[in-house]
A and B are shown apart, each in its own frame.
Chain A
């Protein structure tokens, strides 16, 4: 004999099924697939620009002269570094300049084998730590004593953190 006593079970079953499907629909629809290429492209571009800027600053104007980067580090010319790095890294072929900011550290080994790392130069906006920055570096050979060193020639590491404003 058929009666309507089990109706509620059926309705519950259908409702549960619909909720399940709806959930599956939303999950599948909202998933976007990241490829390995997508994730680090902007970092790679920024890194190329930073490395190029340091390379160009470390290129001497003629066969016998010193590179501008070496001269700047030897003379401690932080303003010179800032303006040269920003103009090189922010140059584009279009009308608008890029908005790269940076912070540069100079690291070298003192005569007593301790490592000295100091802030050398930075752009107008200070580095707070929340920026999505990339790191580039370049070794330079200095023919001048830095504080705490003796001798003729020293290797110093110029490390630059750069990010887009």
Chain B
């Protein structure tokens, strides 16, 4: 039979001490529970989501307080200094989420203009923690992926957004247009001028008001192809190359002017110097500035920002002067009316939307 006569008076003390030591040991393990939990690892997905929203649903912002006040007149993608870019955002406008602007995309992914990770962190990712990230965009049906950032590791926060990318508009003035509008009916003209008008009020505020579809002269790429110059000419008195005179039809000058709303006379306009080369002669891949020797085709490409200094309620006139003998019947609308670049113009392709997908990975 058991009795408790073997119990020592210090048994309780010893047992309690062992228990306390063990309890302290367990208690010290508790902070270790939270070791794997840090704010920045929790919010990788949240930061990726936020960055996705900023890029896809916001048009971005320009202007800094420190450098002479906000440059709010122009959108961020037209700022030449990166310090004037306050926040990236690829949407065409605030009203058109998921519709992205091609020029903003190209500028955003230009790693010579902006440096990874500092500029992108300060203008798109935000936050104090030095996140690393990879942002990529792919157009549907194309192999090429535009991306910025580092290779993606195993563990990262992620978001994917389906988008559409707005492409610029273009017009082709070919023999059909030339004949339809009698652009070569110039028997009494003294020189060969061809003019094109872009009526900002009509383009921006009348037929198409949705920023996703409208032709926005300050921010869109505008392309004008003039073809069949040779075919639509009647008297083929082209000076030969051997004479030392300019060969071809010599597009001697392209001049610009604008007519502000309610005013009677046009004001000459000189585009910013960075856009000086805008003429592609006969399908060449490199643009040049006039005068240009053209044979049969000429393409004028006005990159986004070309007309940014012109008020959006003005009409823009583009005048092409060809150095050709006046007795030749040639592309000339001095006796008719300028070619009106608008949504219903013949052979004009309005801005179109192209499918794409944007991915943001943050770690």
Contacts and interface: CB of A to CB of B under 8 A. Distances in A.
Given A37-B45, A45-B159, A52-B162, 4 more contacts: A9-B4, A45-B45, A59-B98, A92-B357
Contacts of A45: 45, 158-160
Given A56-B164, A93-B138, A21 B5 contact: no
A44 B34 CA distance: 25
Contacts of B350: 62-63
Contact of B359 (A29, A35, A62, A92): A92
Contacts of A38: 42
Given A35-B37, A45-B160, A91-B162, A62 B352 contact: yes
Contacts of A5: 2-6
A14 interface: yes
B251 to A, nearest CB: 32
Nearest to B46: A37
A63 B214 contact: yes
A10 B42 contact: no
A49 B160 contact: yes
Contacts of B97: 55
6 contacts: A10-B11, A31-B33, A56-B162, A63-B213, A93-B136, A98-B160
B80 interface: no
A76 interface: no
A148 interface: no
Nearest to B23: A21
B355 A56 contact: yes
B5 A3 contact: yes
A21 B22 CA distance: 7
A89 B140 CA distance: 12
Interface of A: 1-10, 13-14, 17, 21, 24-25, 28-29, 31, 33, 35, 37-38, 41, 44-45, 48-49, 52-53, 55-56, 59, 61-63, 87-89, 91-94, 98
Contacts of A49: 160-162
A93 B359 contact: yes
User: Which 4 A/B pairs are nearest by Cβ-Cβ distance?
Assistant: A6-B6, A63-B213, A52-B162, A93-B138
A19 to B, nearest CB: 11
B110 interface: no
Contacts, number: 126
B137 interface: yes
B302 interface: no
A153 B214 CA distance: 27
B200 to A, nearest CB: 17
B208 A37 contact: no
B269 interface: no
Interface in B16-37: 18-19, 22-23, 26, 29-30, 33-34, 37
B38 to A, nearest CB: 11
A152 B4 CA distance: 97
A85 to B, nearest CB: 11
B49 interface: yes
A24 B24 CA distance: 12
Q: Which of B22, B46, B52 has the most CB of A within 10 A?
A: B22
Contact of B15 (A1, A7, A14, A55): A14
Contacts of B98: 52, 55-56, 59
Given A35-B42, A37-B43, A48 B160 contact: yes
Contact of A59 (B29, B30, B99): B99
Contacts of A88: 162, 355
Given A17-B22, A28-B26, A28-B29, A63 B208 contact: yes
Nearest to B8: A2
Interface in B202-251: 207-208, 210, 212-214
Contacts of A17: 15, 18-19, 22
A93 B137 contact: yes
Contacts of B210: 63
Q: Which of A29, A61, A93, A98 has the most CB of B within 10 A?
A: A93
Interface in B120-152: 136-138, 140, 145, 147
A155 B346 CA distance: 36
Contacts of A37: 42-43, 45-46
B29 A33 contact: no
